[in-house]
Amino acid sequence: MRLTIQDIVEAVQGKLLVPNTESVVIHEITTDSRQMVNQGLFIPLRGERFDGHQFIGQVYDKGAVATLTMEEDIVDSRLVTIWVKDTGKALLDLAQFYRKTFDIPVIGITGSVGKTSTKEMIAATLSGKWNVHKTEGNFNNEIGLPLTLFKLKPEHEVAVIEMGMNHFGEIHNLTTAALPDVAVITNVGTSHIENLGSREGILKAKLEILDGLSSDGLLVINGDNDLLGELKDLSVSKVTYGLNPKNDYWAKNIKNEGMYTLAEVTTPKAQYSIRIKALGEHMVYNTLAAIAIAEHYHLTQDEIMTGLSSYQPAKMRMHITETEYGLTLLDDTYNASPDSMKAALRVLMDYQSKGRKVAILGDMFEMGEFAPQLHQEVGAFAESVKVDLLISIGELAQQIDVAYKSAGGKKAIYFPTKEDFVREIKHIIEPADCILFKASRGMFFETLVEETRKVK
């Protein structure tokens, strides 16, 4: 990165409080006062429970040479200081400015579930031809996305950017910073329905991604999703993907082979026999989106297949391991919604194992008044796929247990807390069990994976 102070002042519409510093060059941007930087700019963010302005006096020793501020006073005379009205908005504005310095394709991805797996699949596929920059971890919000853009380097040939949200307006802010050339909406489910009121509200929020899409851009959507499949009269070009042959990109003959998923894919240009290192029908959807984008950018079939072969599941997203005790652990603990719970249960039941199929499910958050009903839907679904044992953990997850038993399920255990489960774990788990772990991120179910791994 090479931005001058003058560039930054213009990008954020700020006021330079230290004269004759316009030519100072910035090489890194951070919002973390603890981070070491080289010729860095510190952007102090302010929230309900924190204020980065308190740490401006500490960042020079970490390599910062400049800071933004929403206060008129200069805290550290060693720092070039730029006043702005809102440092959060300035962060996004500066990210947009920096993104515009790159003439490369940018792919933006949002959706109720599957954003990260789709992002990883698209990045892997495009890597068959290009040097890809992508969102790392959960850097998909109004802080993480700008920081992701700031890591773009001259050697990058394409960027794959994930966009998360839980309120109206957030996707608008993200997409107008990233300015994607291709926008992907994986699905419209019930995640964050507490804040958005309905699935129609969620659809409206997801469609904000079009606000930053280039005028000649492409919208790639899951045509099998009921709300997305009904979209008409859009101002941009779109392609659809799914299992229905009516989609532009579709798949059939899906099956599992060990830790791989196989399928036959038909596109407007070619046919593919894919073999991806991930389990589940939902991963075929992710692959279809990736192939659609790759063909849009004229990658050859060999380049696409080479990229697909490099895909590796992200951490805590259906990561499969075996223990010394002979257990198979399906760690899908990163997050959960009703749709992703059902998808994970399908993977569990399709997985070839010698022992019982055990589902350990926990609370799903941000469901608001819909929480009891949505947890009950998961419980009824668990009964319909006939898991051998259902273990529900958490206050909300009690509704999973109730619905499972009401639907006729016989083998279920409910625990109010994770600690209650851990105390009984040795009496519950049997050799050769295949065990799925899934709950919302705030349940920290990865701790249960580790506890189960110790069982002998």
Q: Which residues contact 65 (CB under 8 A, 6 or more apart)?
A: 24, 26, 39, 40, 41, 78, 79, 80
User: Can you give the pTM of this predicted structure?
Assistant: 0.85
User: Is residue 166 over pLDDT 90?
Assistant: no
The pLDDT confidence band at residue 141, using thresholds 50, 70 and 90, is: very high
Residue with token string 């910035």:
26
Residue 48: the pLDDT is 85
Residue 52: the pLDDT is 94
Residue 74: the pLDDT is 93
**Per residue in 218-261, pLDDT tens?**
999 999 999 999 898 898 999 999 999 999 999 999 998 878 89
Amino acid in the structure at residue 430: E
Q: Output phi, psi for 87, to 5 deg.
A: -70, -30
Contact of 36 with 92, CB cutoff 8 Å: no
User: Is residue 368 over pLDDT 90?
Assistant: no
Q: Is 264 exposed, middle or buried (0-12, 13-18, 19+ CB in 10 A)?
A: middle
The pLDDT confidence band at residue 352, using thresholds 50, 70 and 90, is: confident
The Cα–Cα gap between 313 and 319 comes to: 7
**Per residue in 396-422, pLDDT tens?**
999 999 999 999 999 999 999 999 999
**What's the average model confidence in pLDDT over 33-62?**
95
Residue 334: the pLDDT is 87
Percentage of the chain beyond pLDDT 90 is 82
b/e burial code for range 19-53 (CB count within 10 A of at least 16 → b): eebeebebebbbbbbeeebebbbbbbbeeeeeebb
CA distances 50 to 64, 115, 139, 147, Å, are 20, 29, 19, 19
End-to-end CA distance of the chain: 52
User: Is residue 344 over pLDDT 80?
Assistant: yes
Pick from 63, 55, 67, 65: which is nearest to 14 by CA?
67
User: Is residue 190 over pLDDT 80?
Assistant: no
- Domains, the chain, ordered by start: 3-89 (3.40.1390.10), 102-309 (3.40.1190.10), 319-453 (3.90.190.20)
User: Is residue 366 over pLDDT 90?
Assistant: no
The pLDDT confidence band at residue 315, using thresholds 50, 70 and 90, is: confident
CA distances 8 to 90, 179, 212, Å, are 9, 19, 21
- Mean pLDDT computed over every residue of the chain: 94
User: Is residue 316 over pLDDT 80?
Assistant: no
Please name every residue paired with 322 in a beta bridge, in sequence order, or none if there are none.
Answer: 328
Pick from 220, 252, 250: which is nearest to 237 by CA?
220
**Per residue in 65-107, pLDDT tens?**
999 999 988 999 999 999 999 999 999 999 999 999 999 999 9
Residue 443 per-residue DSSP state: G
